[in-house]
Every structure is written in structure tokens, then in C-alpha cells.
A and B are shown apart, each in its own frame.
Chain A
């Protein structure tokens, strides 16, 4: 079964540093998402991306966050200046044109110290 792949699986970073999380979507999927899950809490929507632009974003997705698909394969989430409260599991997800079924990657666990 096709998979969404994410790197890194775990990253520890100093507060104030920039972080880039990478995702390789399923090849024929067109809709891409980033979700966040703080330890012990629910999964929260950050941003959706379609046709090389943001289609929707949540209140969490402030100016410190950005997404892009620079080379047509990787879909990246950048956090410009990390804060302690950015520590969470970040899931990339994709959907195909045929329906709403979300395919999640295995997640990138970000620890800000």
C-alpha cells in the first residue's frame, strides 16, 4: 500500500531555531495537509495545500509557519523561530481526488528545548 513518508522522525532543536519538516506525499495525491498533536492531546489541523498554494489554514498556523513544495515531490513545513510550545508530533497527510480518506505519515516528533 502506498505510504506518506516523513523525515526526520525525531528532531530536537534549540528555542529560536528554524526547523524544516519534510514529507513525500503519495504520488497521485493532490491535497496535502499538516496536522499537529501535542503529547496527550487531540490532532489539530494546521494547513491544507492544493495546486501549489495554501487552501486553508488554522489559527495555529501563524506567521512563524510556512509550507511549500519546492521540487514537486517534497512537501515541507517550516517553523521560522521555534518556541517551547511548538513541541509536538507533526503529521503530514494527503488525500486523493476520489474522496476524503486521509493517509497520515508516521509523524515527525519535534522537541524544542
Chain B
């Protein structure tokens, strides 16, 4: 199936520290792995994504790594700021399928 497990469910870090959120999946047909940030009452906002032919992608303080063999992908946020506090969701898509399957979410709190 297309299940995705996300850990941890909550994460609290000090401002300036790094945060890492990890997702594991079982469906080897998955080939697109986006990460979303969701603030309270708002829509999910795409912050970074990676496709299965790439192992790592970086955008300023945010990076995503993908290990297809082990079937896991991770979000890395460096130099965290209080405004990074939100719920982060990983998701995945199967090849040639438009729908996304979401993880359960990680509530990130960055303490000033």
C-alpha cells in the first residue's frame, strides 16, 4: 500500500539548532516526495520536494534527503527560527498517480 510513517510526532528545538523529521514508506512505486508546512488554520504549503532519481536537494536552510533502498526520506531544517514553528507533513506519490498520501505530521516548536 501507500502508507507513510512520520517521526517524531512532536519536536521541540532551541532557536538556531537543527531539526530533522523522517518518513518511511513501503511502496517501491513511490517516486515523488514533497514536504509541506502547515500553520494553524491554513492550507499545506509546499516547502521542498524531491523525485526518486535524486538523493538530496537543498533550498537555503531546508534540505531533503532520499534513500530509496531503505525507503526513507528526511527533512532537515538548519538554523531554526521561531517562525519555523508549524506542523510539517511528508507525503508521497506513486508513479503516474496524482494523489498524494500524507504522513501524520510533526509539530515543530522552535523556542526563542
A45–B98 alpha-carbon span in the complex (Å): 11
Closest chain-B Cβ to A43's Cβ sits at a distance in Å of 4
| A42, A45, A100, A102 — most chain B CB neighbours (10 Å) | A100
User: Which residues does B use to contact A, with CB under 8 Å?
Assistant: 32, 34, 36, 42-46, 49, 89, 91, 93, 97-105
Q: Are B43 and A45 in contact (CB under 8 A)?
A: no
Bits for A34-59, please: 1 = Cβ < 8 Å to B, else 0: 00000001111100101000011000
Q: Are A56 and B102 in contact (CB under 8 A)?
A: no
19 A-B residue pairs with CB within 8 Å:
A31-B98, A33-B98, A33-B99, A41-B105, A42-B89, A42-B103, A42-B104, A43-B36, A43-B89, A44-B102, A45-B101, A45-B102, A55-B98, A91-B43, A100-B49, A101-B46, A102-B34, A102-B46, A102-B100
Number of interface residues of A (CB under 8 A): 21
A25 touches B (CB below 8 Å): no
Q: Are A48 and B99 in contact (CB under 8 A)?
A: yes
Partner of A105, one of B43, B99, B102: B43
Closest chain-B Cβ to A18's Cβ sits at a distance in Å of 25
A95 touches B (CB below 8 Å): yes
User: Which residues does A use to contact B, with CB under 8 Å?
Assistant: 31, 33, 41-45, 48, 50, 55-56, 91, 95, 99-102, 104-107
Closest chain-A Cβ to B109's Cβ sits at a distance in Å of 15
Closest chain-B Cβ to A26's Cβ sits at a distance in Å of 14
Closest chain-A Cβ to B66's Cβ sits at a distance in Å of 14
Residues on B with C-beta less than 8 A from A55 are 98
Closest chain-B Cβ to A40's Cβ sits at a distance in Å of 9
Residues on A with C-beta less than 8 A from B89 are 42-43
A100–B91 alpha-carbon span in the complex (Å): 11
Closest chain-B Cβ to A94's Cβ sits at a distance in Å of 9
A104 with B43, Cβ < 8 A, contacts A42-B103, A42-B104, A42-B105 known: yes
Residues on A with C-beta less than 8 A from B104 are 41-42
Residue of A nearest to B104 (CB): A42
A33–B97 alpha-carbon span in the complex (Å): 12
